[in-house]
Amino acid sequence: MSDDSTQHPLKIYWIMWGALFVLSTFSYATDFLQDGTLRTTLILAFMFAKAGGIVWIFMHMGWERLAFKVAILGPPVAILVLIWLMSLEGHYVEGSRLEHYGESTFEPQTPEHH
């Protein structure tokens, strides 16, 4: 016999499916924006929202214990923090290099064909 109390109501899945449809519509609507920071930020925000919803509802993460959530979600968050720190360092190194050496005057030469 199955216990009906452990089964999630289908309404949750239909609501999530509708939310994914709406988020995808907004994501595709960003194609009409000019390339730039706003467009990239919106695309990434919609992507993370859809991925989070899929993990939370369809992969049943919302019903798991806190320790399991931390074990699964902790490493990707740590990686994102490390990527952000590397980005900060890269901007610092580039700025200090420009400050110390000035703008590059290097112009690549095209190979000559005989």
Are 55 and 69 within one domain?
no
Rounded average pLDDT over 78-103: 85
Q: 64-77: per-residue pLDDT in tens?
A: 888 888 888 889 89
Q: Measured over all CA atoms, what is the biggest interatomic distance in the chain, rounded to whole angstroms?
A: 84
Going by C-alpha positions, the residue among 80, 59, 61 that lies closest to residue 70 is 61
The answer to whether residue 1 scores a pLDDT higher than 60 is: no
What's the rounded Cα separation, in Å, for the pair 33 and 31? 5
What's the rounded Cα separation, in Å, for the pair 14 and 20? 10
Range of the domain at 83: 65-101
Rounded average pLDDT over 16-36: 94
Are 59 and 78 within one domain?
no
Are 4 and 59 within one domain?
yes
Are 52 and 97 within one domain?
no
Domain presence at residue 39: yes
Are 7 and 18 within one domain?
yes
**At residue 50, what is the residue type?**
K
Domain presence at residue 106: no
Both tokens of 70, joined, read 């931390």
Both tokens of 38, joined, read 């706003």
Are 47 and 80 within one domain?
no
Rounded average pLDDT over 51-76: 86
As for how many domains the chain has, the answer is 2
Domain presence at residue 109: no
Are 25 and 59 within one domain?
yes
Q: What is the pTM of this model?
A: 0.60
